[in-house]
Amino acid sequence: MEQVILRYDGDALGDHSMNLKLIAESLSGLDDLIHEVYEEMGGTEDEIDLQIKGGFQEGSFEFLMTVGQTLQDNIEILKIVGFGLPPTAGSLLTYLQWLKGRKIDKITLTEEGNCKITTEDGEVKESPSYMRPLLASASIRTAFNKVVSKPLRGGGIEVFEAIANNDARTRFNSVTTAEEKYFRSQRNPVNNVVVDKPIDDVVITFLTVHKDKDTHWRIDLDGEAITIKMEDDTFLSNFRKGKVPDIFVNAYSVMIYEKENTITMDKTYSIVKVYARE
């Protein structure tokens, strides 16, 4: 079980009142944020129990949030989000503070399996691999917008804090009005999600072909059966005219384009050139 106090402070809360719509949106954002991160980390919705207890304290408004969950490997959701003592590798909240509202140009994997985040102006930072889908998620940005950005830009609330639920009330993280723009919604947080990789002059054999469509062809590439799209119009035209009679007998040298989604790691393939047989 994890616990954290989430605190809003500012002049607008001096009379012990807070806009009901802001409270409702913040609670909705918290629920969305915690559940999405939990599921991205391998959990399921029915495994997590999120409890909120709120009230005013010395001119501020606070939520005591309790998260009960069953993730393996001692994964602590609040720390990953940024509502706990941040791990050495950083949290979602601290990565968004580093981005300062900039869009991510691309996210690639290093040889060690970490993420390499490149901003639109060329700054680079490494993160754990699990941050890849979290930083690319538009819905996570929307949730942070509800929890952090909207209350801070509404006027009269100057700071959002994540505080330990202990006598010392240790502050884990804070966001000020000057930083709220870093947590606004972004429809497409990553500019370049798909990376093209040419694979030239490789030898393949055809397993499945279609005269009526250029998709869902299957080839054998180094002993692996993969589905491809045929984008060599000349070869496709010759095949449809019956000019490639031994298509299942012969091996062919081709250029393939591999398209990899750097967030989901899904790959698609297309043949862009079938070289003439010698």
* Banded pLDDT at 28 (limits 50, 70, 90): very high
Provide the residue type at 178 as one letter. Answer: A
Q: Which residues pair with 6 in a beta bridge?
A: 63, 162
* Banded pLDDT at 258 (limits 50, 70, 90): very high
pLDDT value at residue 16: 59
Burial 9-39 (b: 16+ CB within 10 A, else e): bbebbeeeebbeebeebbbebbebbbbbbbe
Q: Do residues 165 and 29 both lie within one domain? A: yes
Q: How many other C-beta atoms lie within 10 A of the C-beta of residue 178?
A: 9
pLDDT at 167 over 90: no
Here the tokens at position 169 are 């009330």
Q: Do residues 210 and 153 both lie within one domain? A: no
Domain stops at, among 135, 152, 183: 183
Give the burial class of 79: count Cβ atoms within 10 A of its Cβ; 0-12 exposed, 13-18 middle, 19 or more buried: middle
Domain stops at, among 183, 211, 230: 183
Q: Do residues 175 and 209 both lie within one domain? A: no
Provide the residue type at 29 as one letter. Answer: G
Question: Domain holding 234: CATH number?
Answer: 2.40.50
* Structural domain boundaries enclosing 236: 194-274
Q: Do residues 161 and 37 both lie within one domain? A: yes
> What three-state secondary structure class fits 134?
helix
Instruction: Give tens-digit pLDDT for 44-59.
Output: 877 888 888 876 566 6
Question: For a pLDDT cut of 70, what percent of the chain falls above it?
Answer: 94
* Alpha-carbon span 155 to 12, nearest angstrom: 7
Q: Do residues 148 and 97 both lie within one domain? A: yes
* Banded pLDDT at 30 (limits 50, 70, 90): very high
pLDDT value at residue 248: 94
Q: Is residue 188 part of a domain?
A: no
Q: Which long-range contacts (CB under 8 A, 24 or more apart) does 246-252 make?
A: 247/206, 247/209, 248/205, 248/206, 248/207, 248/209, 250/205, 250/277, 251/203, 251/204, 251/205, 252/203, 252/204, 252/205, 252/206, 252/277
pLDDT at 19 over 80: no
Q: Is residue 243 part of a domain?
A: yes
Q: Which residues pair with 255 in a beta bridge?
A: 273
pLDDT at 203 over 90: yes
Q: Is residue 148 part of a domain?
A: yes
Total-model pTM: 0.78
Q: Is residue 125 part of a domain?
A: yes
SS3 letters across 39-66: HHCCCCHHHCEEEEEEEEECCEEEEEEE
Domain stops at, among 183, 203, 230: 183
Q: Do residues 158 and 202 both lie within one domain? A: no
Here the tokens at position 45 are 């919705």
Provide the residue type at 17 as one letter. Answer: S
pLDDT value at residue 221: 93
Q: Do residues 167 and 215 both lie within one domain? A: no
Domain count, the chain: 2
Q: Is residue 100 part of a domain?
A: yes
Q: Is residue 224 part of a domain?
A: yes
pLDDT value at residue 56: 55
Q: Do residues 41 and 114 both lie within one domain? A: yes
Q: Is residue 189 part of a domain?
A: no
Q: Do residues 201 and 167 both lie within one domain? A: no
pLDDT at 130 over 60: yes
Q: Do residues 178 and 198 both lie within one domain? A: no
* Banded pLDDT at 71 (limits 50, 70, 90): confident
Q: Is residue 38 part of a domain?
A: yes
* Average pLDDT value over all residues in the chain: 89
Sign, CA torsion 32/33/38/41: positive
Q: Do residues 49 and 122 both lie within one domain? A: yes
Q: Do residues 11 and 140 both lie within one domain? A: yes
